[in-house]
């Protein structure tokens, strides 16, 4: 049987997302659901970049499902001395029952997956962050917001999270507005996937350069750091993004009950003020917790067959 990979949200159907959201709800209520599912299984975690949430939520989740996680620091592997990703995939497939990979190029994850006989999960690449967005969809579902008519606005730098949000929301037929400077608009590849998916789902993507217009009457405002891991700091970029900070003034243009989301880590005082992040509209801690429950649901989906 072909291994079930999870490289982007494109890989799973709307029905599978619905199933995962319901399963995550049950798992959140009962930490011990499927507690022996991964017994005797070892899942590797190959990380080329820093992580707090992705690493810890997967390690805790694998442990709660009865499995064993093995953290692999690529700097200490032969990969860093020239062994190819293809050869590494062939070898790891003989020791492990799965691999979670966080790296720079999305092509690396694709190359690993196409040479692997074990399931591969994308724990973030420069292009996509599907595990983050799967759990964000769960947070929206829990809040009762994941339905037609949702006004969802992403504000700031259009990065890997933005691309995954565009794919995830459009797969469910929901609209997304991106408020960003003209030079930091969503990546072409994600817009192409949106174009294809929206033909059947009917979803709309609005890209607006005016942040106040973008958040007008929004039910959800989502942001992320202005400089993603691996990007270089640039004064020009910071200057262009100043007016896209989530602060009290910007929030006042949104719906009164607007929910504020941030995938974390945050740079308080840059893309979001502490006042908003710690304020009554913020759901960032619920959002962070849900990484654990949504990813456990993903593991149950991958390994229950
Ligand atoms: N949001 C997220 O992926 O957090 P980490 O970088 O800490 O894993």
- Nearest 10 degrees: CA dihedral of 23, 28, 33, 38? 80
Residue of 53, 106, 129, 262 with catalytic role: 129
- Asked if 9-129+291-303 and 144-282 have one fold, the answer is yes
Which protein residue has the closest C-alpha to ligand 1 atom 4? 53
Average pLDDT over the chain, rounded to whole?
96
Residue-wise pLDDT tens digits, 247-286: 999 999 999 999 999 999 999 999 999 999 999 999 999 9
Q: What's the Cα-to-Cα distance from 108 to each of 46, 104, 134, 158, 206, rounded to whole Å?
A: 12, 8, 21, 21, 31
Q: What percentage of residues in the chain have a pLDDT greater than 70?
A: 100
**What pLDDT does 233 receive?**
67
Mark whether 195 is an active-site residue: no
In the sheet that holds 220-223, the strands lie side by side as 205-208, 176-179, 152-155, 220-223, 259-262
H or E element in which residue 116 lies:
none
Domain boundaries, the chain: 9-129+291-303, 144-282
Predicted TM-score (pTM) of the model is 0.97
The Cα–Cα gap between 291 and 56 comes to 10
Q: Would you place residue 67 in the very low, low, confident or very high pLDDT band (cuts 50, 70, 90)?
A: very high
Among 180, 150, 183, 179, which Cα is nearest to 259's? 150
Q: What is the mean pLDDT of residues 150-169?
A: 98
CA distances to 164, 210, 261 from 225, rounded to whole Å, are 15, 19, 12
pLDDT of 229 over the 80 cut: no
In the numeric block, the tokens 């759990």 are attached to: 135
In CATH, 9-129+291-303 is 3.40.630.30? no
* CATH for 144-282 (3.90.550.10, 3.40.50.2300, 2.120.10.80, 3.40.50.1370): 3.40.50.1370
53 C-beta closer than 6 A to ligand 1: yes
Model confidence at 228, pLDDT cuts 50, 70, 90, reads confident
224: annotated active-site residue = yes
């Amino acid at each position: 049987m072909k291994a079930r990979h999870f490289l982007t949200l494109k890989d799973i159907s709307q029905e599978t997302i619905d199933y995962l959201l319901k399963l995550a709800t049950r798992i959140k209520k009962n930490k011990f659901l499927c507690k022996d599912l991964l017994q005797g299984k070892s899942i590797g975690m190959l990380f080329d970049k820093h992580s707090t949430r992705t690493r810890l939520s997967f390690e805790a989740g694998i442990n709660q499902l009865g499995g064993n996680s093995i953290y692999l620091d690529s700097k200490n592997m032969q990969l860093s001395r020239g062994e190819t990703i293809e050869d590494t995939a062939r070898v790891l497939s003989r020791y492990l029952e799965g691999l979670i990979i966080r790296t720079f190029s999305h092509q690396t994850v694709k190359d690993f997956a196409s040479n692997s006989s074990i399931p591969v999960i994308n724990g973030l690449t420069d292009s996509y962050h599907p595990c983050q967005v799967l759990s964000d969809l769960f947070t929206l579902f829990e809040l009762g917001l994941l339905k037609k008519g949702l006004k969802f606005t992403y504000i700031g730098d259009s990065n890997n999270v933005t691309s995954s949000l565009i794919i995830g929301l459009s797969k469910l037929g929901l609209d997304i507005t991106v408020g960003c400077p003209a030079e930091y608009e969503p990546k072409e590849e994600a817009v192409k996937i949106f174009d294809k998916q929206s033909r059947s789902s009917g979803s709309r993507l609005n890209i607006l350069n005016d942040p106040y217009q973008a958040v007008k009457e929004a039910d959800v405002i989502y942001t992320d750091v202005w400089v993603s891991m691996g990007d270089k700091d640039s004064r020009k970029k910071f200057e262009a993004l100043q007016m896209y900070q989530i602060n009290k003034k910007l929030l006042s243009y949104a719906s009164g009950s607007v929910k504020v989301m941030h995938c974390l880590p945050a740079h308080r005082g840059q893309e979001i003020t502490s006042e908003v992040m710690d304020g009554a509209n913020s759901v960032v801690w619920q959002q962070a917790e849900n990484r654990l429950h949504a990813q456990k649901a993903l593991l149950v989906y991958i390994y229950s067959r």
